[in-house]
């Protein structure tokens, strides 16, 4: 499971627990209770860790680089095929 899918699954589990607790507590949450619950299920982001938007941007950049490399390789293959066709035509003309 990808990191994003794992994070979403964890968040979903936490929200289900919170929802069941709120449904049992008809008066609702006090500000302090809400703050404690929020802090329990959120973790501060590490200094070197990328945000989801940054990770997505990095993945898009990697995909675009890979596509560019693939395009260059295909162009080389097309050039090689054209060269071979020219050589074959030259040989056939000699025969």
Quick: pLDDT tens for 7-34: 777 777 777 777 666 666 666 667 777 7
Q: What is the pLDDT of residue 45?
A: 60
- 4 and 36 in a single domain? The answer is yes
The reported pTM is 0.43
- 56 and 39 in a single domain? The answer is no
- 95 and 55 in a single domain? The answer is yes
- 34 and 64 in a single domain? The answer is no
- 94 and 59 in a single domain? The answer is yes
Crossing angle (nearest 10°) for helices 3-24 and 31-41: 160
- 39 and 72 in a single domain? The answer is no
- 54 and 37 in a single domain? The answer is no
Structural domain that includes position 31: 1-43
* Rounded CA separation 83/76 (Å): 11
């Amino acid at each position: 499971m990808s990191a994003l899918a794992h994070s979403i699954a964890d968040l979903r589990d936490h929200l289900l627990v919170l929802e069941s607790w709120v449904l049992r507590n008809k008066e609702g949450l006090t500000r302090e209770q809400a703050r404690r619950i929020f802090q329990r299920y959120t973790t501060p982001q590490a200094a070197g860790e990328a945000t989801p938007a940054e990770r997505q941007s990095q993945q898009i950049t990697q995909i675009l680089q890979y596509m560019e490399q693939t395009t260059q390789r295909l162009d080389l293959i097309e050039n090689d095929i054209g060269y071979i066709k020219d050589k074959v035509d030259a040989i056939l003309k000699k025969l």
